[in-house]
Amino acid sequence: MKYLEFAKRYDLHVIIDEIYMLSVFDESITFHSVLSMKTLPDRNRTHVIWGTSKDFGISGFRFGVLYTHNKEVASAVSAFSFLHSISGIAQHKLCQLLQNTEWIDKVYLPTYRFRLWKAHKYVTAKLKSLEIPFHNRSSGLYVWINLKKYLDPCTFEEEQLLYRRFLDHKLLLSCGKAYMCKEPGWFRLVFADELPRLKLAMRRFCDVLKEQKQDLRVKQLELPASQPVTCSGTP
């Protein structure tokens, strides 16, 4: 609400991305859309976007939704989407899917959320055992992990080298820098997969950290005593 009030004060548009609205896997937490608010400071400048790529795992359909009360915005987006529309077959299939609300509510979502919860529980337990700090949330498909203690020195260049080491072990973790993170060492670890593959991925993950740790020890032994290594900062 504070963001919306700030935007109204300066005549700014607000775009709320609710792409993970169905991916809340903690039963004690309820998702609240901005559209559920009884009143909006500026109804004509508040827009909501959503898609099926995350909640339904069909990013290949390239399908998205814009909910807006602003006719000018709707007209502009319609003109833009004229050259970027999805195929008729994809539209037909999506229409069939989204109209089947009984199956979505009673079969798909309970199964989807249980699998996310199970995968999240496994991955976060592994991270805790490795004493790796992470941002714990009860929704979405990934966790933000802090690997700055494995960087020497703590720079974005070293972050990129660690990223390459993960790739060499057939692991793809997104770097924090790719998401405008101001501090080196943060990575995005996606856990939305089946347990057998997650277990394989975490074994490779541990192997990478073991190699990285060994290299850090060698590097520190080679440094003169007058050159201490530090990596400070807060997320």
Q: pLDDT of 158-196, one tens digit each?
A: 999 999 999 999 999 999 999 999 999 999 999 999 999
**CATH 3.90.1150.10 spans which residues of the chain?**
109-222
Q: Fold for domain 2-98?
A: Aspartate Aminotransferase; domain 2 (3.40.640)
Q: Fold for domain 109-222?
A: Aspartate Aminotransferase, domain 1 (3.90.1150)
Is the preceding omega at residue 41 within 30 degrees of 0, hence cis? no
**CATH 3.40.640.10 spans which residues of the chain?**
2-98
Is the predicted pLDDT of residue 226 greater than 60, yes or no? Answer: no
pTM summary value: 0.86
DSSP annotation of 85: P
DSSP annotation of 176: G
Rounded to 5 degrees, what are φ and ψ at 174? -75, 135
